[in-house]
Amino acid sequence: MRYGVVEELAVEVMAQLPSDEARWEVMALVDVARMDPQAWPDVRDPGSVEEIREAFGRRCWIQYMPHAGAIEVRDIGWAG
């Protein structure tokens, strides 16, 4: 995937989204997060070494880890 690695859970969630519009909205959010991953809040647990961040769209959110020039999508949420 051009945006980076998508974990198995995120792939499963993408497949379960209700429409192409929903998938497009999530992918648009992934693109925004990839362009500036540090702009979103770091939500790692105290003591964790993984830099986990969350980005929020109008009806969706993603949890991801930034990597050099890409992001690793860990989870996707949909509220639409």
Contact 54, 63 (CB under 8 A): yes
Q: What are 9-55's pLDDT values in tens digits?
A: 777 888 889 999 999 999 999 999 999 999 999 999 988 989 999 99
Q: What are 23-33's pLDDT values in tens digits?
A: 999 999 999 99
Decide which of 5 and 20 is more confident.
Answer: 20
User: Which ranges constitute the DSSP H helices of 1-80?
Assistant: 8-16, 20-35
The structure tokens listed for 46 are 């105290």
Q: What topology does CATH give the domain 8-78?
A: YaeB-like fold (3.30.2310)
Number of neighbours of residue 27 by Cβ within 10 angstroms: 16
Q: What is the pLDDT of residue 34?
A: 92
Contact 41, 54 (CB under 8 A): yes
Return the bridge partners of 33, or none. none
Residues 37 and 16: their CA atoms lie apart, in Å, by 25
The structure tokens listed for 1 are 């995937």
Q: What is the pLDDT of residue 25?
A: 95
Question: pTM for the complete prediction?
Answer: 0.83
